Amino acid sequence: MEEKIIKIDENNIGKRLDIFLQEAFSSYTRSYFKNLIDNGLVTVNAKTEKSGYKLRKDDVIKITIKEPEKISTEAEDVPFDIVYEDDDLVVVNKPQGVVVHPCSSTKHGTLVNGLIYRIKNLSGINGVLRPGIVHRLDKETSGLLVVAKNDKAHVSLSKQIKDKTCKRNYLALLEGNLKDDSGEIITKIGRDKKDRKKMAVLNEGREALTFFRVLERFKNACFVEFSLKTGRTHQIRVHAKYLGHPIIGDKVYGKEVKGLEGQLLHAYKLTFVHPTTLKEMTFEAPLPEYFLNYLDKLRGMK
């Protein structure tokens, strides 16, 4: 562990704090510095700031550099279904309980470990820890992900997500019943001030837009389709809680349910334009068995 102190000169005025640090210490990633910032290991003028803080002349940054943990990117036989594959990309159906890429808390058994085991080539834009990864799903969320096999495909798919032209649809079971049959949720989402592992609706967060449509109602639950217009961390889970109807089985934003490993949230539909053929492609993944069983149980109680 090493402490560094940097004084900002005129050449770096207006830069984001996390971007400046990544440029200053190029052997580390921007996400590494974001993690340091989120955990209070970076101060500006003896105060903690957010990753997006815009630097000013003569700001004094104090940073505690920690050597990143060595994380496995070895090939491992991790179970997941390949829905579609060609020379540019692969569409996978991620099971509940599988983390997308290695991190400090999960070093083995991730989707990336499984991809390396089964796929010969993956894009290198996101580095050795996240090869091919264009977007993510939470550990306990199941469903569809598109993975890039070369950098050209990665750039195209990432741009579609950024431009909000990639369509992602989810199915979820919520606690209680939503008041409206359909609608949109527009808020700002940011890191929870009391618990840095959680996200929350905050005035100073980033804009988040989710559409919803109730498919089926039960006595104490409802079956809902969600579509994302933005892709904030935990967006659907946070918005469901914001509406007062958390996703069933969500241990973080709702409550734990006996017999369920995690939330009943499934990314069932994915639409994007193929980076080479330029044709629109749509894929669907059926609900996992545990989700269907819970749904059948609710239908039997009607």
Give the residue numbers marked as catalytic.
Answer: 138
By three-state DSSP, how is residue 20 classified? helix
Distance between CA atoms of residues 18 and 32, nearest Å: 9
For residues 194 and 248, what is the distance between their CA atoms, to the nearest angstrom?
A: 23
At residue 28, the 3 state secondary structure works out as: coil
Cα-based angle 170, 175, 177 (whole degrees, multiple of 5): 90
CA 158 – CA 230 distance, rounded (Å):
13
Taking CA atoms, 37 is separated from 47, 177, 197, in Å, by 11, 39, 13
DSSP result, 182-197: EEEEEEEEEE-SS-TT
